[in-house]
Structure 1
């Protein structure tokens, strides 16, 4: 069989390119998102320069065209550039209210957390330092966060109890600040790729440039060196500006094969048997691919790390494809379902109940939100009520402590059912339960959210 200039046969180049996609797509996806946040904004968040926060105006509403946006959390997002030196982060006192600041490196690894679970809710100042930094920590600094890469993201979520809570949130937003401490100017954008690269090879060009500027953990470098025959380790003029036709064909095939591999794994995780009809699905271990940089607020015990490093690359690629800023399961678990206890698709033309014999075991918050399907958007209702949970005032518990939530498009006539009502879209819908700071029973599966039942299916309903 014909060999290319690399000495490898075309099929071997294709297979190697597929491996490169699985390995490198998290880096390309993450930095593409960083670039978009700098230039265009992200979802409802306006664009913001490096080392500055962008804040949402409030929790999600039906006008928020972001799939599965939270109706009881307010987003904050900052892109950090540490190429000019450290950045100081001031965190205000939230007076016991839940928040989290999640730090994600250029490869999509969540490497630190600030918040009640990790550091409490009091005021603090944190230094975020670049790789290899060996400077002096100023007085008054609460702690140091070592960033694995010189570009990173800070993903913030502030618990919000509705419009009346927004003055408190706005005050926190004003106090949540970043200050560049370096003695050199930081970047204003990401390292530029070579112009003139054909669109079908753009992925490999971005991977080549960004791998060079944001090197992986030392334990990954031997694996990364395998991609030398693809031109990914070449410096200077891009090998993809005027590539030989055979290389274009092999890389294109490898790209398609790598994407298929990631999509099939994502589909497997999404459709794996979840239990009886109506069982809720969770994926608490999708962030366990971070094996090397476990900083403030992370857990490094074996149950939170994938033992096989090469297998972790595929999980990381799936996580980047599904939700690049998903937290570790020990910070938050998201449970969803699309069918009732009889196995029928959920539809707002019918009424349902969710009976919780015990409240979900969380140290933080739990809430239930209903989104339209398949879009994943909130749908307007007259009550402007888009989530119910342990912070919802007026919920009525039974004498035994259980809580029955009523899911319906129309307000129930019964006063108790109306107090416990979650409005749902009139057609197909998908409920999502957020479990923030989940207890061990959630994580080990000994607590399971009950299936949603058609109204009247339970005796005495």
Structure 2
């Protein structure tokens, strides 16, 4: 049983990203997500405001207004049209069912002029209309995660107009779509249902060719069976699956907080957290050794940790993410304490940067008295010191001094984890010339 349980643990780490991804795909089509309205497959759902605590999605950003479309190409290609944004930053990120970022459309990737793109399923061999760029989608179900820069409430009408002008439509008449695979209803909730979702997802959405061979090792778990073995599993299999599920979950949690990402002043530099895609490089991606994790086994663990702490996050060249769980002395960050971050120089970017506050272990935004969930270069009335340095105050209570209050990012009660985001980062972010300041504990709140 121990060998079977260990195999189940490996299957959990391997399959966790797809299972959680497809759960979110289904949620967005049925219920939406906080500010993002629900939308059926092949139609955009748009947020009308920046994200807040009602947007219950792991590590959601508070910098951009979201648009999301869940794609089902089993009925044929889709035509995507994007408007001219007049130089405004935006990105449409394409994510397959295994959470590979396989294409980008937006300011960095394709510019800000109007454009048309044909999204086609695997092995499609039809003709692409003139003036339209082809994007091959690796799995028939996938997601477009759109982010629009927004400078505040006054800027929302302009963003809404751009959202309305971003459209999807079938090429030709289209055909009925398959939708998401449906797990066997008789499978019990919990650990067994996880493996049932993985089994149906693996059958519906074949992975990259190298992983198709890798999947064969999971045959003893029933993951390659055409019908569910989890309705009435043997006692041995059930024990192995339940034990393996917990082991795998523990490994994903550990990889999330103690992974192999380099550290700088207490920050985890998760710039490579989404570099696990090894095979699918469509419009807007960068296929270079810097952005491809060559160790396939290691990349599977990285992918699971990325899905746990930042599902649907961008490659580092689009937006570089750094995360912190501890202060500069290695002590866990906690809302009972007060902290500062002093930027001698702010992050070098072509778009913008921010620090966003999340609770743990959910990694959600948390309500606070001033409704501020992030702070950065677009925050109004920040106070810079005479030497042009910038000090941020991370604490639960409003600072007494006016200058400190202007630079206050409220912390939630209990443990928290901030993310520093750098959109369109400069090379200095990656080659070590730019250093992120530590989070320093203060004996007395400002």
Match of 1:4 in 2: none
> Which residue in the other structure is 1:157 paired with?
147
Measured after TM superposition, the shift of residue 372 of structure 1 is: 5.9
Q: 2:271 aligned to 284, 287, 295, which one?
A: 284
CA contact (8 A) 2:366 2:412 kept: no
Given the alignment of the two structures, is residue 96 of structure 1 paired with residue 87 of structure 2, yes or no? Answer: yes
Task: Give the conservation status (yes or no) of the 8 Å contact 1:84–1:183.
Answer: no
Structure 2 unaligned runs (5+)? none
- Greater CA drift, 59-68 or 85-94: 59-68
Pair 1:412–1:222, CA change in 2 (3 A): same
Q: Deviations over 1:292-321 (max 9, x none)?
A: 112111122112122221222222222222
- 8 Å CA contact 1:86–1:127 kept in 2: the answer is yes
1:92-241 counterparts in 2 under 5 A? 92-141=83-132, 143-181=133-171, 183-187=173-177, 189-199=179-189, 200-235=191-226, 237-241=227-231
Change in Cα spacing, 1:393 to 1:148, as seen in structure 2 (3 Å) is same
Q: Which residue in the other structure is 1:449 paired with?
A: 436
Q: Shift of residue 344 of structure 1?
A: 6.7
Query: What residue is the counterpart of 2:419 in the other structure?
Result: 432
Please provide the CA RMSD for this pair: 3.0
1:23-61 alpha-carbon deviations (Å, 9 max, x no partner): 222222211221222222234323210001111120134
Q: Secondary structure at the match of 1:333?
A: strand
> Max radius of gyration: which structure?
1
Q: Distance in 1 between matches of 2:419 and 2:79?
A: 35
Task: Provide the residue aligned with 1:14 in structure 2.
Answer: 5
Q: What SS is found at the alignment partner of 1:329?
A: coil
- Mean Cα deviation higher: 203-212 or 252-261: 252-261
Q: Using a 3 Å threshold, how does the CA distance of structure 1 residues 99 and 84 change in structure 2: closer, same or farther?
A: same
Q: 1:103 touches 1:112 (CA, 8 Å); kept in 2? A: yes
SS in 2 for 1:148: coil
Instruction: Provide the C-alpha distance between the structure 1 equivalents of 2:105 and 2:262, rounded to a whole number of angstroms.
Output: 34
Are 1:335 and 2:322 matched, yes or no?
A: yes
Give how far 1:219 is off: 1.4
Q: TM (normalized to structure 1)?
A: 0.85
Per-residue CA deviations over 1:100-149 (Å, capped at 9, x if unaligned) read 111110111111111211111221111111000111111332x1111001
Q: Deviations over 1:133-175 (max 9, x none)?
A: 111111332x111100111001111111111111111111111
Q: Select 1:316's aligned residue among 278, 285, 303.
A: 303
Which moved further from structure 2: 217-226 or 68-77?
68-77
Shift of 1:338: 5.4
Q: How far, CA to CA, are the matches of 1:107 and 1:43 in structure 2? A: 24
1:378/1:445 Cα in 2 relative to 1: closer, same or farther (>3 Å)? farther
Q: Judging changes above 3 Å, is the alpha-carbon distance between structure 1 residues 12 and 398 closer, same or farther for their aligned structure 2 residues?
A: closer
Q: TM-score, normalised by structure 2?
A: 0.88
Distance 1:344 1:196, change over 3 A: closer
What is the Cα deviation at residue 256 of structure 1? 2.7
The answer to whether the aligner puts 1:28 opposite 2:28 as a matched pair is no
Task: Structure 1 unaligned segments of length 5 or more: list them.
Answer: 1-9
